[in-house]
Amino acid sequence: MSTDSHSADQVADTSAAATATMRKVALTSLAGTSIEWYDFFLYGTAAALVFPIVFFPSDMPVMVALIASFSTFAVGFVARPLGGIIFGHFGDRLGRKKMLVIALMMMGVGTTLIGLLPGYATAGAAAPIMLVILRFVQGLAIGGQWGGAMLLVTETAPPEKRGWYGAFAQAGAPIGVILANLAFLIISYSVSEEAFMSWGWRIPFIASVILIGISMYVQLHLEDTPAFKELERIKQLKHHGEDVMAPEEAFSKVAADSSVVNMKRSPVLEALRLYPGRICLAAGAFLSIQVTFYIMIAFVVAYGSSAEGVGLSRNTLLAAVLIASAIQVPFQFWAAGYSDRHGRRGIFMLGAVLTGAWAFALFPMVETGNFYLITLAITMGLGFMGLQYGPQAAFFTELFSTHVRYSGASLGYQIGAIVGGALAPTIAVLLWNQYGIVYVSVYMAIASALTLWSVWMLTETHGTDIHAVG
C-alpha cells in the first residue's frame, strides 16, 4: 500500500471517528434534554389540569385556583436565571460536562419527589409550600441544563454544521412536551378520572428517575468540549508564563487578556462587563419563543378544557399539543440547517413575524371545537416558533467568547425565559378574564415584535470562529 493511500485511510478513519463521536454527543444531549424538559413541562400540564384540585383548597373558585396553580408554575422561571448564574459560573470554570451532569441529577430527584408529595387534603398549607420548593429546584436545574447541553453540542460540532447539531439540544423541548403529554394521555386512558386525580398523575413524575441514569452516562462516556479544553490549555500555558498568542489558536484580544485567562473575575460578572448589550438583546430575542410556547402548551389546554372557555375534553387538547409538538421538531431542524447555509438572523426574524401574525388565527380556530382545526392552529404556532428556536443554540453560542460563553448564553436565555415565559400563562388568564381572548393574541404579537427588534439589533454570527469571539 502506498504512503498516500495509507494517509488517506487514516484521514477517513479519523473523520469517521469524529462523526461517530459527534453523533453520540448529539444523541446523548437530545436524550438528556428531552427527559429534562419532560420533567419541566410535566409540571406545566399538571398545573393546568391537576394541581388546582390537588394542592389547593376545594372551596377556592376555579379561576383563582388556576391562577394560583400557574403562579407555582412561574416559580420555576424565577429560579431559572439563578440556575443560569450558578451553573454558568462553574460551567465556565470547571467545564460544560460536569455542570450538565449535576443539572440532570437535580431535575431527576426534584421531579420524582413531586410525584410523592401529599396533597392539600392530607398536608394542608404545607402541600403547596413543598410543591413550590421542588418547583424551585426544577427551575435551578433547567437554568443550568440548557447551557451545558447546548454548549456540549455546539462547541463540539464542525463549524459548517453548528446550527444543525445545535438543533439536537433544542429538540429536547418539543420532545419533552410530547413525552409529558403522552404520559398524561396514557395514564388518563388507563385509569378512571377519580383514580387519575388521586394517584395516576403521580406516575409520570416518579418515572423521571430515569434522568439520574442518563446523568451517569454523560459523566462516564462523554468528554468536555474541544473549545473548553483549548481554553484550559491556554490558561495553563499562561499560568506558566508562556506565550499564548500563536496565530493557530485564533483567540480574540478579549480572550487573550490576562484577566480572562487567569479567571480572577467571576465569569458571570465578566460576561456582564463585556457583553451587557448582547445579553439584553439575546433575552429579547427569546421573548417570542417563550410567550408563544407556554401559551400553546399550557394556557391553550386550560382555556380549551375549561367550562369558562371552550369546554373541550382534556384528552382532545393534549392530543393536539402532542401532534403539534411532533411536527415542530422538523421545523426546528430545517431552520437550523438553513441557518448554517444562509445565516441565523434572517430565519429567526421570519419566525418572529409569522408567529406574531398567527397569534390572531389561533383562538378563533380553537373555538371551533374541531379537532383538526385546533391541531392545525397549535401546529402552525409551534412551527413558526420553531423557526426561531432551531437556530438559537448556534446563534447564542456564537455571540460570546469561550471563557464566558456558558454564563453569557445562559443569562440571555434565562432572563428571556423569566420575562417571557414565567408569567405567560398567568398573564394570558388575566387578559382573557378581564378583557377577552383577543388580547392574549395581542400579547403574543407584542412579544414577537420585541423579538424581531432584538434580533435586528444583533449582528449576524454565521461563520464566526467560536474561539475568536470578541
Per-run averaged pLDDT (10 residues), the chain, 470 residues: 53 65 86 82 78 81 78 80 89 87 89 90 86 89 87 90 93 87 83 84 87 82 79 69 47 43 72 93 95 89 82 85 93 96 96 97 94 96 96 94 90 88 85 93 97 96 70
CA dist., res. 38 & res. 179, Å (int) = 6
DSSP state of 402: G
Are 184 and 200 in contact by the 8 Å Cβ rule? The answer is no
Tell me the CA distances in angstroms from 261 to 99, 168, 266, 273, one per residue in order: 20, 31, 12, 16
CA dist., res. 417 & res. 160, Å (int) = 28
**pLDDT score, position 259:** 42
CA dist., res. 146 & res. 377, Å (int) = 28
Are 26 and 222 in contact by the 8 Å Cβ rule? The answer is no
Are 302 and 359 in contact by the 8 Å Cβ rule? The answer is no
Phi-psi region of 409 (alpha: psi -120 to 50; beta: other; left: phi over 0): alpha
CA dist., res. 71 & res. 69, Å (int) = 5
Phi-psi region of 414 (alpha: psi -120 to 50; beta: other; left: phi over 0): alpha
Tell me the CA distances in angstroms from 422 to 77, 139, 149, 154, one per residue in order: 5, 10, 21, 27
- Joined grid coordinates for residue 357: 401574525
- Joined grid coordinates for residue 368: 371551533
- Joined grid coordinates for residue 241: 508564563
Question: Which of 204, 10, 174 is closest to 114 using CA atoms?
Answer: 204
DSSP state of 404: G
Tell me the CA distances in angstroms from 147 to 150, 207, 264, 425, 431, one per residue in order: 5, 24, 22, 25, 33
Are 76 and 142 in contact by the 8 Å Cβ rule? The answer is yes
**pLDDT score, position 249:** 43
CA dist., res. 218 & res. 6, Å (int) = 34
Number of H helices and number of E strands within the chain?
23, 0
The residues, any chain, with a CB within 8 Å of residue 230's CB and separated by 6 or more, are: 249, 402, 467
Q: How many residues does the chain have?
A: 470
Q: DSSP secondary structure string, 111-168?
A: HHHHTT---HHHHTTHHHHHHHHHHHHHHHHHHHHHHHHHHHHHTTS-GGGHHHHHHH
DSSP state of 370: -
- Joined grid coordinates for residue 287: 421573548
Are 183 and 35 in contact by the 8 Å Cβ rule? The answer is no
**pLDDT score, position 405:** 92
- Joined grid coordinates for residue 300: 391553550
**pLDDT score, position 243:** 54
Are 301 and 177 in contact by the 8 Å Cβ rule? The answer is no
- Joined grid coordinates for residue 201: 398523575
Helix (H, G, I), strand (E, B) or coil at 413: helix
User: How many angstroms from the chain centroid is the CA of residue 128?
Assistant: 25
**pLDDT score, position 165:** 94
Q: DSSP secondary structure string, 214-283?
A: HHHHHHHH-PPPHHHHHHHHHHHHHHTT-----GGG---HHHHSHHHHTT-S-HHHHHHHH-HHHHHHHH
Question: Which of 451, 458, 453, 461 is closest to 352 using CA atoms?
Answer: 451
Helix 344-366 to helix 438-457 angle (10° resolution) is 180
CA dist., res. 167 & res. 172, Å (int) = 9
Phi-psi region of 263 (alpha: psi -120 to 50; beta: other; left: phi over 0): left
Measured distance between the N- and C-terminal CA atoms of the chain, rounded to whole angstroms: 47
